[in-house]
Amino acid sequence: MNKKVLLKVLKYIASLGLAFGILYLLFKNQDPVRLVEEIQKVDGKWVVLSMIFGGWAYVSRGLRWIVLIDALGYKSSKWNSISAVSVGYFTNMFIPRAGEISRCTALNQTDKIPVDKLFGTILVERVLDFIFLLFLILLTIALKFNDIFNFYNALQTQQTESTGNSNLLLLIAIIVVLVMSFIFLKKWLKKSSFYDKVLDFIEGLKEGFKSIKNMKRKTAFWLHTFSIWIMYFLMTYICFFSMQETSHLTAGDGLFLLVLGGIGMVIPTPGGVGSYHAIVMIGLSVLGVGTIYLGEGGDPTNPALLFPTIVHVAQTLVAIIMGSIGLLILFVSKKKKNVAS
């Protein structure tokens, strides 16, 4: 096994260990019997509706990708594009940040579009997603400034007694993984030509923005872009009505949790496992739902922990369902191409 493969394996093991470590800290004092009882009280129709919104976000992202690809002079079928996007999300559940690679590779094999061109469009998507997330962060700050201030205070005032709150350990774990990521990045830069990589990145952006400039269906592109983020918002907001403890929360609260959840998904754990649960739990406690106390004697059925668990499980199911269907469609499409050739 060469060093690069070994490094990737170690990074994946560290990512997996972090996810399970956070989950252990969160659930170690939860009563499993009572937790199941609380889950059974959840109104499933709202969760199913959230899953439908999540699935539509995949569809919108796939259709938007076609508009970008068309602008570069290539053609892709709607089914293949949506399926490739779905496979990308499915891959990200197991290997963080690998979804883009699998997504481009899948579409290359079915529609024969050069991988480097596809990566250019994905770079543009990343920039747009960052801009939208930044806008939502600013909007959230304007609407929920007091809650954000309380969220910051909640992170600053965690107790460290052995019988008290273990959130400090959670924060330390997150800091550790960020430091590890920085170390890995530093080593990568030392072993590679940073200048060449910057040039490749800029060239990719040029190709991507060129596709936006040259696209004929700008209206469709922006409609799908807004659709994606509206679906992301509804995925969280609609689940408020599935639990009595969260049914009173507002659309502004949903926006607040969407931003926090997005930050939680950035932490390099497979599919945001653990990190999403932790940061949304703290956010809900700030909104007056549940608690962030994880020590013995705390709430054995913490609604602030139950809610992100339900949302995350629902969207994981969406990724599995859409990814499985996508794999089947791509397999059939590739087989037809091979027979035709």
Tens-binned pLDDT, residue by residue, of the chain (341 aa): 567 777 777 777 888 888 888 888 888 877 888 888 888 999 999 999 999 999 999 999 999 999 988 888 888 889 999 999 999 999 988 877 788 889 999 999 888 899 888 888 888 888 788 788 888 888 888 877 776 666 666 555 544 443 444 444 444 455 455 545 555 555 555 555 555 656 666 665 666 566 667 677 888 999 999 999 999 999 999 999 999 999 999 998 999 899 888 888 877 778 888 889 988 988 898 888 887 756 555 566 788 889 999 999 999 999 999 999 999 999 998 887 776 66
Tell me whether residue 242 is in a domain. Answer: yes
Tell me whether residue 24 is in a domain. Answer: no
pLDDT value of residue 196? 63
* CA nearest to 104, candidates 218, 6, 223, 204: 204
At 306, the amino acid letter reads: L
Q: CA 230 to CA 224: how far, in whole Å? A: 10
Tell me whether residue 104 is in a domain. Answer: yes
- Which residue is associated with the tokens 């990719």? 204
- Which residue is associated with the tokens 């009173």? 248
Tell me whether residue 6 is in a domain. Answer: no
pLDDT value of residue 172? 47
Asked if 268 and 17 touch (Cβ cutoff 8 Å), the reply is: no
pLDDT value of residue 12? 78
Tell me whether residue 341 is in a domain. Answer: no
At 293, the amino acid letter reads: Y
pLDDT value of residue 140? 83
Asked if 311 and 247 touch (Cβ cutoff 8 Å), the reply is: no
Three-class SS state of 157: coil
pLDDT value of residue 336? 79
* Exposed/middle/buried for residue 338 (C-beta within 10 Å: 0-12, 13-18, 19+): exposed
Domain span at 54: 31-334
At 336, the amino acid letter reads: K
* CA nearest to 151, candidates 246, 238, 237, 257: 257
Backbone angles phi, psi at 218, to 5 degrees: -60, -40
pLDDT value of residue 61? 95
| Tally of domains in the chain | 1
pLDDT value of residue 168? 46
Q: CA 3 to CA 112: how far, in whole Å? A: 32
Tell me whether residue 253 is in a domain. Answer: yes
Which residues have a Cβ under 8 Å from the Cβ of 106 and sit 6 or more positions away?
80, 83, 84, 87, 88, 330
Backbone angles phi, psi at 287, to 5 degrees: -80, 0
Tell me whether residue 294 is in a domain. Answer: yes
* Exposed/middle/buried for residue 308 (C-beta within 10 Å: 0-12, 13-18, 19+): buried
pLDDT value of residue 42? 94
The pair of structure tokens assigned to 78 is 């709607």
Eight-state DSSP code of residue 250: -
Other residues' Cβ atoms within 10 Å of the Cβ of residue 229: 18
Tell whether the torsion through CA atoms of 211, 216, 218 and 224 is positive or negative.
negative
Tell me whether residue 15 is in a domain. Answer: no
